[in-house]
Every structure is written in C-alpha cells, then in structure tokens.
Copies of this chain bind each other. A is one copy, B any other.
Amino acid sequence: MSASGSAYADLLGLVAFGELLAFERMAGDARLAPDLRRRAALNEMAAAEIANYRRLADRLTALGVPPEDAMAPYVEPLQAYHDSTEPRDWAEVVTKAYVGDAITDDFVREIADALEEPDRALVLDVLHDSRYADFAGAEIRVAVADDPRVAGRLSMWARRLVGEALSQAGRVAAERAALTALIARDGRVDVPGLFGRLTTAHTARMTAAGLNN
C-alpha cells in the first residue's frame, strides 16, 4: 500500500478497535445493571459493536492489511481511556455508553469525509443504532428523576469522560501525523477545530439528557 493507503487502513483500524473495545467494556459493565432486563439490554448494545467490528476487519483484510496490524497503534490509548473511566455504578455505566457512543459517532462522521466509497458508506453504516442512545438517555433521566442530586455527579462524570477521551485522541493525533493529515480539512490539520465540533455536539446532548456542562 502507498503511504496514504496505510493512513487509510489506520483510520479503519482505529474505528475497528474502538468497536472491539467498546464491546468488551460494555459487556463487562453489564454486571452493574440493577435488573436482568437492563443487564440484557446493555449486553445487546455491546453485541451490536462486534458485528460492526467484523465488517471493518473483513474490509481491512480485503485491502490486504491484517486487522490486528491496523488496530495495534490504538490498543494503548484506547485501553488507557477505558481504564481511567471505570464506571462505579449503573448510572455511570449508561452515561458512559451515552456519551461515548455519541462522541464516537461524531468522530466517525468526521472520518467518513476522508474516505472513498465503499469505505465511506461502510463507516457511516457502523454508527450506533439510535434505539441504544434512546435507552441510555432514558436510563439517565430515570436516575436523575429518582434523585436530583445525581445530575451533578453524572455531569461531572460526563466531563471527565470527554476530558479523558480528548486527551487520548490528542495523543493519537500527535503520534500519527499521516492519519491526522487524512482527516484534515482544506489541507489544514485542524485538530482544535475537530475537538471544538465534537464538544459542541456533546454539550447539546448533555442538555437533552438533563445534565449540565
């Protein structure tokens, strides 16, 4: 593959490993569910990620890149994100799923602009099913309705999630210049602009779920 082709596989690898790790972590968090119905719902959210992982891995293989090679650079930063944001209870679990899935989707949409077909369509197709966001958003509202003081705690938790995510994303961007160049707009590597767009959308979602920024 050419140098830009390699950056291209890098992007698909990033999305693929993000799916794989989101799957594992959500499945691991399910034990914190207050009942079996919610536990099953989170596990089914998790399972949706693995199907997406498979599609991206198959595409990488078709491009001649072993999926594990394309994913390797992201193991450390993505694990660091999840290790530093271990939810302590169900409200934190659903907030993490709500915040994390949405930011991931926004980021994937940004990435899609850098891809050609059929990869653009593939990547846009792995966006999260909105019924899972609806489930997580509803769970947050229930938690806040049960105890209004929870809103403050979850707002702080959401800020920490975004802070940790952007910190690790910045690390990836700094270390992988070719990848960053690929998602640049108008030839400029506008990482602050990208981060600005992600956080603006995040702010609107927090308000929708009854949380503060």
A64 CA / B11 CA spacing, docked (Å): 46
The answer to the question of A76 belonging to the interface, with a C-beta cut-off of 8 Å to chain B, is no
The answer to the question of A138 belonging to the interface, with a C-beta cut-off of 8 Å to chain B, is no
One of B35, B50, B75 near A43 (C-beta < 8 A): B50
Whether A43 pairs with B24 at a CB distance below 8 angstroms is yes
Restricting to A31-81, which residues have a CB under 8 Å from any CB of B? 31, 35-37, 39-40, 43-44, 46-47, 50-51, 53-54, 57, 66-68, 71-72, 75
Q: Number of residues in A with C-beta < 8 Å to the partner?
A: 28
A31 CA / B83 CA spacing, docked (Å): 12
Chain B min CB distance to A11 (Å) = 17
Quick one: CB contact mask for A154-182 with B, threshold 8 Å, 1 for yes? Answer: 00000000000000000000000000000
| Residues in chain B near residue A50, CB distance under 8 A | 43-44, 46-47
A169 CA / B193 CA spacing, docked (Å): 58
| Residues in chain B near residue A72, CB distance under 8 A | 36
A122 CA / B44 CA spacing, docked (Å): 19
Whether A53 pairs with B57 at a CB distance below 8 angstroms is no
A28 CA / B21 CA spacing, docked (Å): 11
Could you tell me which A residues sit within 8 Å of B by CB distance? 17, 20, 23-24, 27-28, 30-31, 35-37, 39-40, 43-44, 46-47, 50-51, 53-54, 57, 66-68, 71-72, 75
Q: What are 28 A-B residue pairs whose CB atoms fall within 8 Å in the complex?
A: A17-B36, A20-B36, A20-B39, A20-B40, A20-B43, A23-B43, A23-B47, A24-B27, A24-B30, A27-B27, A27-B28, A28-B28, A36-B67, A36-B68, A36-B71, A36-B72, A37-B66, A37-B68, A40-B53, A40-B57, A40-B67, A40-B68, A43-B50, A43-B53, A44-B50, A46-B50, A47-B47, A47-B50
Apart from A40-B68, A43-B50, what 6 extra A-B contacts exist at CB < 8 Å? Answer: A23-B27, A23-B43, A24-B30, A36-B71, A44-B54, A47-B51
